[in-house]
Amino acid sequence: MKEKYPEFVEKLEEHGLISTWIFGAEDDVSSPIGRRWQSVFLTQDKSTAEERAARLGIKLEWMEDGVKTIMGPKPAIKFDKMRGRKIWFNGMMLAYMGRNNERNDPKRAVAFGDGTPLPANIIYD
């Protein structure tokens, strides 16, 4: 990756990644990621959900019909001391290509840590 897309890798190292996921107030059985926020946080209480999310490093933005979760920025590349080199350390592809339902646009599910979108031409290459 670093040879083919050095600027992309540099930006990942500098900013990390932000992951965003929207959970509705009701289950969406048409989607494998369509769980309602109450199921995700195992509570009916918004304050409890906020406490549980905070312990996981997740910010919540309440919406009229659910909640937007924002995790990160988290490192996308880490240094492996045992191997003495940098390693790919993220689920960017899964989030970018897999979070697709009525509430979630996979192209917005993951972004650079500064909030800018990932370049589709690199992701799909």
Q: Please state the domain count of the chain.
A: 1
Strand partners, 74: 17
How do residues 94-122 score in pLDDT, each as one tens digit?
665 655 667 777 677 888 999 998 888 88
Contact between residue 31 and residue 112 where contact means Cβ atoms under 8 Å apart: no
Domain hosting residue 112, numbered range: 6-123
The encoded tokens of residue 23 equal 């959970």
In terms of average pLDDT, the best of 37-41, 49-53, 113-117 is 49-53
Question: pLDDT digits over 56-68, tens only?
Answer: 999 999 999 899 9
Instruction: Please report, for the domain that includes residue 108, its CATH number.
Output: 3.60.130.10
In a domain, 53, yes or no: yes
Q: Does residue 39 fall inside a structural domain?
A: yes
Tally of CB atoms within 10 A around 40: 16
Question: pTM (2 decimals)?
Answer: 0.78
Residue 1 lies inside a defined structural domain of this protein: no
